[in-house]
């Protein structure tokens, strides 16, 4: 439920955190009884609790299709991510993965922890996949085939550099970067749009907008996960394009060293600026959605992404550890992202936060400010900013120590009743 220190500093996080905790426990109780579906939804909770929570809002048919789509692509990603698997073994599996999902007996040992379990018992996913309506199956097969081929293409383009045991993906240009992100995330956006259309509740969104939805999320993750990827064992995973980082350092790994802190932050800001180019497309995509559950399913991750970029921008901690939104703010995003007015408001506030951090002496400052101005204008032009109360920009309310104490007492009582021995 977040640290006590964070709750003392942000006591208004308490109620959203409580709602999130209760919703999470409710979602965990909604596991189907059939063994294969029970495995799929239990695994979904283990590999992505936030995704598992949001998906529960969808109707059963679409929820099942999206769950299987996610697990199939997560399994595909597990094969690609496992740097211990030899290329001559990995590439054929990636290319043929779309066929394996029809085979109830297929599995492949790779990955670690929960991902290893997913791969070892993949027959449960295949069994569930084969129970989906044909329209859902065709959409999942198509995206899996295209994604596997794209991943294989980039692995085959890997080139060893004269940097010891490290291995670079051949992401030389920004176009390469966009192409890679398209294969691993843009196609997810296209696939979800196909699933939404197949269930009959949404029009089929333009591919360009669906692609941008995926690229914005993927680029945010790539920026945030720099240190984790660069320190990957046995081989580094490097997704930042040379066209950007080459302006600041000789080797991508140099960004993590303290003596390069100034250049590292400048490079980081350049990467964030690149990601912002997708925001207008994302706002257009979300504004066209009609189904409230599908809207929340799509909107919450996008709000989380712009919030993460606002935290990462101009922040040296990206190269020192993990930078992420506090859990209380995450809970607020999940609780208060219900309408397009909420989305415009959140994007406006996070963009204001980001713009306040722009240093006019930064090499990308002018481009960053221009892209932020475009986002802010889009949000203002929506005409709905006055329809919401900001939960992102800190307010000036002074909470008394007594109120904080009362909150903790209430929290302790509720948690005691929600514990293992408490009521179901």
The residues assigned a catalytic role are 180, 224, 237, 297
Q: Quick one: 280 exposed, middle or buried, by C-beta within 10 A (0-12, 13-18, 19+)? A: middle
Residues 99, 83 contacting (CB under 8 angstroms)? no
Backbone angles phi, psi at 40, to 5 degrees: -60, -45
Distance CA 189, CA 187 (A): 5
CA atoms within 13 A on the CB side of 311: 20
């Amino acid at each position: 439920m977040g640290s006590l220190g964070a709750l003392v500093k942000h006591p208004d996080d308490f109620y959203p955190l409580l709602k999130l905790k209760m919703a999470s426990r409710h979602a965990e109780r909604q596991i189907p009884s059939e063994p294969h579906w029970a495995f799929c939804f239990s695994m979904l909770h283990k590999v992505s609790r936030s995704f598992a929570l949001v998906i529960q809002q969808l109707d059963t048919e679409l929820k099942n299709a999206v769950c299987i789509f996610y697990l199939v692509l997560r399994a595909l990603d597990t094969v690609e991510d496992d740097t211990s698997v030899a290329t001559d073994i990995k590439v054929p599996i990636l290319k043929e993965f779309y066929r394996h999902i029809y085979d109830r007996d297929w599995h492949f040992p790779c990955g670690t922890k929960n991902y290893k379990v997913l791969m070892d018992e993949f027959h449960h996913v295949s069994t569930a996949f084969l129970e989906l309506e044909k329209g859902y199956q065709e959409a999942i097969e198509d995206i899996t085939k295209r994604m596997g081929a794209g991943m294989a293409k980039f692995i085959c383009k890997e080139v060893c550099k004269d940097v010891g045991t490290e291995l670079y993906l051949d992401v030389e240009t920004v176009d390469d970067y966009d192409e890679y992100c398209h294969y691993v995330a843009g196609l997810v956006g296209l696939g979800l749009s196909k699933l939404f259309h197949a269930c009959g509740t949404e029009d089929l969104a333009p591919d360009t907008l669906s692609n941008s939805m995926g690229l914005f999320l993927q680029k945010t993750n790539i920026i945030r996960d720099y240190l984790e990827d660069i320190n990957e064992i046995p081989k580094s995973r490097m997704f930042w394009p040379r066209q950007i980082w080459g302006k600041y350092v000789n080797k991508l790994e140099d960004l993590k060293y303290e003596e390069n802190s100034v250049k590292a932050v400048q490079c980081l800001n350049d990467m964030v600026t690149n990601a912002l180019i997708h925001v207008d497309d994302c706002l257009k995509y979300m504004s066209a959605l009609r189904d409230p559950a599908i809207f929340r399913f799509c909107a919450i991750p996008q709000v989380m992404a712009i919030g993460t970029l606002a935290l990462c921008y101009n922040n040296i901690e990206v190269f020192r550890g993990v930078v992420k939104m506090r859990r209380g703010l995450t809970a607020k995003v999940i609780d208060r992202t219900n309408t397009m007015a909420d989305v415009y408001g959140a994007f406006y506030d996070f963009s204001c936060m980001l713009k306040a951090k722009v240093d006019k002496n930064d090499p990308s400052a002018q481009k960053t400010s221009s892209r932020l101005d475009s986002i802010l204008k889009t949000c203002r032009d929506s005409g709905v900013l006055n329809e919401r109360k900001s939960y992102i920009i800190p307010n000036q309310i002074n909470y008394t120590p007594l109120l904080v104490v009362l909150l903790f007492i209430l929290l302790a009582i509720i948690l005691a009743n929600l514990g293992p021995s408490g009521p179901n």
